[in-house]
Structures are given as C-alpha cells and as structure tokens.
Amino acid sequence: MTAPEPRAHRLPPQIDTSKPSLARVYDALLGGKDNFDVDRALLAQMVELTPEMPAVARANRRWLIRAVRWLARDAGIDQFLDVGSGLPTAENTHEVAQSVNPEAVVVYADNDPAVIAHGRVLLEDNEHTYFIPGDLTKPEEILSDPVVTSHLDLDRPIALLQCLTVHHIPDLADAQRVMAGYVDRMASGSYVGMTHAERPEPGSEGYEELWQAYEKFREASAGFTLRTRDEIASLFPGMEFVEPGLVVADDWWPEGPRVGELSPMARLMTAGLARKP
Ligand SMILES: C[S@@+](CC[C@H](N)C(=O)[O-])C[C@H]1O[C@@H](n2cnc3c(N)ncnc32)[C@H](O)[C@@H]1O
C-alpha cells in the first residue's frame, strides 16, 4: 500500500504559495496547518506590530466553538451557514457541529479567491460540508445559491454565523439592510451568531485604555469598521438575545474561570447569539 500524498502536494495550481494570502495568515494566527512560509513571514511582521492580535483572534475562534457547540447540542440546530468564513481550518464550524451531530450540514461562503480554491480542497472528503464563492453583502444571492438551496432547508431553523465579517460593510444602514436580508429569509427559531469588534463610547469603564486599543485595532486591521455596542445590537433585527446577550466574547459562557486580565484589545471583541422568534 502506498502512503497518501501530503495535502500540500495535492493542491491545485490556482493556489499560489509564492505570495501570502490573508486567509492563510489568519489560519497561521490561529495555529492552523494550512499556511506556507510566506504567510508565516507576514504573520511574524504583523505580530511584531500588534502582539495582542493572536490572543484576540483566538478569543474570536473560542467563542465560535462555544456558540456552535451550544447551537448543535442544546438548540438542536443541524444546518449552519458560515459567511466570510475564511479557511475552514483550525477547529471550525463543521468540525464542532459534526462532533455533536455527524449529520449536521455546514455551508461556508467567502469571496477571497485563495479561500475558495483552498477551502474546496480541504473539504473534498466531507459529505456534509460545502464551500461556495459568495459575497456576504448580497444575502439574496447567497441564499439562492444552488448549493445552499439543495443542502439547507430554509423552511427549518438554521444558524447564520457572521464572525468578524460585518466590519467589511462600512456604512451602518447598509450593514443593517444586509443583516435584515438574511434574517427575513430565515425560518422562525433560526439563530444569528456574530462577533464584531467594538468602538468604545466615552464614559465607558476604562475608556482611555480602550480607545488606545481601538486605534491600534483599526490600524492592524485596515478596512475594518468598528461599531458601538448599540450599533452592533442593531445588526440582529427583531431577534432575541440568548443570555448573557451582547458581551465581551470571553465573557459569553466561558468554559471556566479566567486566568489573568483580558487585554484592552480582547475587551473590544464583542459577541452575541440571538434567536428569531
Ligand atoms: C477576519 S476574517 C474572519 C474569518 C472567520 N469568520 C473567523 O471569524 O475566524 C474575514 C473574512 O471575511 C471575508 N470577506 C470579506 N469581505 C467579504 C465579502 N464581501 N464577501 C464574502 N466574504 C468576505 C474575508 O475573505 C475573510 O475570510
């Protein structure tokens, strides 16, 4: 019997390993294995500028894992749509949902060409997980994609995941319209899970320190629009938050007591899960 080829050798030619891909840099940041020397070199430069970034990215991923586990196990959700998913690696939605329910169906969508090419290769052996190219700002196109309509039953509850994605829509009214476009099409009993970095408001506890972290976060993640907590809440139209509501991600049903203080940047990572009545 011949040993299976290492995965990197089976990569199709459209996966360019000579230039860094932000999605693979993010995978490296999370401790994933689907990245190359060029990606790790760029990550090293980024971490030198913002040493807190890996901890913040991990807080985001830890939240996703806890939320998906709760959805699959306690809320009985067996269909997930994860938009702006990045590479489906490093303990992602399908691994968590299918560890609870092996039949759970997961559709990932992203518009980054590196993610699309590489994501499909990563999922080719998984029967219940799919990857589609899609623009998260166009809910009607994503929800009518043939892969979505043939594998997700929108007449039954689904969970829509929007982790660190709505930042890519700069205008608040546009972001609200996009989220309403998804939620309107989702059945009653569906959930939206979202992480979104927060812009602190004057008067909030530790404001000065949080504001400095906010400026640094924006610099490190060019193109992100950070929002106040009320603005983030407005991205869950007509929905009811699962306790404890919209909070610092690490404070959302943590798995145990906190060891040490959260950095100001980690305190800007806000998360919430809400149900459509
Ligand atoms: C910061 S990453 C977050 C990845 C993942 N959701 C997570 O939380 O770990 C943002 C992702 O959104 C994707 N993205 C940005 N704009 C998008 C758009 N208009 N449509 C689809 N995906 C988009 C990027 O390609 C990237 O993979």
Question: How confident is the model at residue 136, as a pLDDT?
Answer: 97
Query: Which residue, judged by its Cα, is nearest atom 24 of ligand 1?
Result: 84
How many other CB atoms are found less than 10 A from the CB of residue 51? Answer: 11
Query: Which residue, judged by its Cα, is nearest atom 23 of ligand 1?
Result: 84
- Bridge partners of 160, per DSSP, are 81, 192
Question: In this predicted model, what pLDDT tens digit does every residue of 159-178 receive, in sequence order?
Answer: 999 999 999 999 999 999 99
% residues pLDDT > 70 (the chain): 95
Per-residue pLDDT at 4 exceeds 60: no
Q: What is the mean pLDDT of the chain?
A: 90
How many other CB atoms are found less than 10 A from the CB of residue 189? Answer: 14
Give me the DSSP letters along 138-167.
-HHHHHT-HHHHHH--TTS--EEEEES-GG
Q: How far is the CA of 166 from the centre of ligand 1 (A)?
A: 9
Per-residue pLDDT at 14 exceeds 70: no
Rounded-to-integer distance, Cα 165 and Cα 174, Å: 13
How many other CB atoms are found less than 10 A from the CB of residue 151? Answer: 17
Whether 93 lines ligand 1, by a CB cut-off of 6 Å, is no
Question: In this predicted model, what pLDDT tens digit does every residue of 185-208 receive, in sequence order?
Answer: 999 999 999 999 999 999 888 899
- 33, 89 Cβ separation under 8 angstroms: yes
Rounded-to-integer distance, Cα 53 and Cα 256, Å: 22
Reported confidence tier of residue 220, pLDDT bands at 50, 70, 90: confident
pTM of the model: 0.92
- Amino acid identity for residue 185 in this structure: R
Q: Which of 194, 197, 195, 275 is nearest to 241 (CA)?
A: 275
Per-residue pLDDT at 5 exceeds 60: no
Question: How confident is the model at residue 134, as a pLDDT?
Answer: 95
Percentages (nearest 5) of helix, strand, coil residues in the chain: 45, 15, 45
Which of 111-115, 203-207, 223-227, 232-236 has the highest mean predicted lDDT (pLDDT)? 232-236
